[in-house]
Structure 1
């Protein structure tokens, strides 16, 4: 059982602004439990064209916004128990998404290195750090709301599996999943 960490860099104005500040190649983090990323979850924009309305989302990677995005993808081997812990947490987030908010204030506080935590509000890497911590997969040396996408990228529990565009990754996954056809004489 695998957990997939997807770090992306889109061409949006917000993404470019964050990149200017952080100097990081990737500034958004998401997780999935399937290799085709059809369950890619994070905290981000709820509406593709409005970066200021955010919360818990299942990201639509078939949308042009994501298909052309540069990404790097990592995987982590999970035990049966860890997988189910993460699945339960994701189910909780799905069931309560209307009560959860995007933590823009926390993101700003993180940028200026202020320890500020909000209840029921997350930014992308804070969400993933919370999931990893609460499931017992990884214990951070800092609080989840102080974790950046770059911190996640550097975790030794993850193995790098791909760098490129999401559309090319999906093409590669489709090629791997094609069944072998044997002809018998």
Structure 2
């Protein structure tokens, strides 16, 4: 059983909605995503489905090359996972992706987060709740609180995760592309 790496991507896109979230969290990063590769080709989360409309949200496969992320600041954390765990993560995400229209953003859950009362709703997640749920359901991390009370910055505290990068997301992606070219 080989160990592989999974990645938690924390970002600050600088949008009005994320600045509003920052008012409550008082932390530098306000969005969390999961990736299966260090080049961030496969990145999953719950967030806006349209760049122009932050209130139309749900399950998203994020494009790190998009304008929304191009100016983002980020922190990237890696964690070890087994083949079995990566399979469980992918199955969980694929089941959501297959029925993506049944899922939406848990705006009410954000209010529960603010008052520290978990609000879990069927087929509804906010970004860090989704990431925590995937990691918990795949037996990767055990959280001391409900996934609906997990903030993006809580992932920084996981003792088994390792920070691999912090800075401008676009710079990281350019570096990753250049590294791929050098290796090839």
Calculate the TM-score normalised by the size of structure 2: 0.94
Residue 167 of structure 1, CA deviation: 0.8
Which residues of 2 match residues 160-179 of structure 1 at below 5 A? 160-179=163-182
Aligned to 1:27: 30
Task: Indicate the RMSD between aligned Cα atoms, in angstroms.
Answer: 1.2
Matches within 5 A, 1:3-82: 3-82=6-85
Structure 2 unaligned blocks of 5 or more: none
Query: Is the aligned partner of 1:142 residue 2:165?
Result: no
Whole-Å separation in 2 of the counterparts to 1:94 and 1:146: 23
Runs of 4+ in 1 over 4 A off after TM superposition: none
Which residue number corresponds to residue 83 of structure 1? 86
Pick aligned residue for 1:157 from 142, 157, 160:
160
**Secondary structure of the equivalent of 2:108?**
helix
- The equivalent of 1:110 in structure 2 is 113
Number of residue-to-residue matches in the alignment = 181
Structure with higher Rg: it is: 1
Distance 1:23 1:179 in 2: 39
The DSSP-based 3-state class of the residue aligned with 2:164 is: strand
**Following the alignment from structure 2 to structure 1, what is the Cα–Cα distance between the partners of residues 145 and 110?**
15
**Alpha-carbon displacement from aligned partner over 1:128-166 (angstroms, at most 9, x marks no partner):** 111011101011111111111111121112110001111
Cα distance in 2 for partners of 1:61, 1:33 equals 14
Q: What is the rounded CA distance, in whole Å, between the counterparts of 1:105 and 1:164 in structure 2?
A: 31
**Unaligned stretches of 5+ residues in structure 1:** none
